[in-house]
Amino acid sequence: MRMKLYLSALLAAFSGYTATQCNAAITLTMAENAGTVVTFWSGSVNTGGLGTPTTFSQAPGLVRGQFNLWTAAGETGLYDSYFVPGIVTFNFNAPGGFAIPGVGTGDSVGMQENAPFISLPRNYVSDTPISGSSTAVGTFASLGIIDGVTSTATWDAGAAGIQTITFVTDIDAPVPPTSVVPEPSTLAVWSLLALAFGGLSINRRRK
């Protein structure tokens, strides 16, 4: 009898362990690093339950954070977007109100709470690891980024478990050495673009 109880407990523990192991996540972090803001991300998710995606794009390296939106473009800026009303649970906190042009590498990822969607790299295959980064001239203060904000999107992919995309602003987070640090001349060009974009936004608001 004791052996049966032991085996039952062991089986339950193993089942819980394997279920936990099925869960997957992509995490994106924004941090300051030597006069730049670096956004870096990595991980994998399963798209079970999300349906058929549609394609959209934005400028490579562009990172956007608004009251209901987070997107981070890598080298190409191409996404597959899954529109997911009633499927994904959002815990959204606004990171500020910014659209920061930067030098991008790797894949692209994003989410939006209002008219909800999840965005993953073009032709993404479930459970495939992705990574990417974007580097822009500036600081959290100069670029309008609020520190200490976390936003998540979570969905149940059935047998694949709970899937999560998390976006974090952490001014002091250590930046991985694999994240690209562009040449000063490249950053200078992007700095001018950022200033031009900011001026354009101000002019539009005045009108």
* pLDDT tens-digit map of 180-195: 555 544 445 544 544 4
| Mean pLDDT value of segment 7-12 | 40
**What is the structure's pLDDT at 23?**
80
What are the backbone dihedrals phi and psi of residue 119, each rounded to the nearest 5 degrees, phi first?
Answer: -115, 130
Under 8 Å between Cβ of 61 and 73: yes
- pLDDT at residue 203 tops 60: no
Counted residue by residue, the chain has a size of: 207
- Please give the C-alpha separations between residue 185 and each of 59, 88, 134, 190, 192, in angstroms, as whole numbers: 19, 42, 16, 9, 11
Residue 75 tokens read as 């080298």
Residue 19 tokens read as 């279920």
* Residue the block writes with tokens 């500020």: 96
Under 8 Å between Cβ of 7 and 146: no
Structural Rg of the chain based on CA atoms: 19
What are the backbone dihedrals phi and psi of residue 46, each rounded to the nearest 5 degrees, phi first?
Answer: -110, 135
**What is the structure's pLDDT at 79?**
95
**What is the structure's pLDDT at 144?**
95
Residue 191 to residue 184: CA distance in whole angstroms = 10
Under 8 Å between Cβ of 56 and 81: yes
* Residue the block writes with tokens 């996404």: 79
Under 8 Å between Cβ of 149 and 89: no
| Mean pLDDT value of segment 61-81 | 94
| Mean pLDDT value of segment 92-115 | 94
| Mean pLDDT value of segment 71-82 | 94
Residue 16 to residue 120: CA distance in whole angstroms = 28
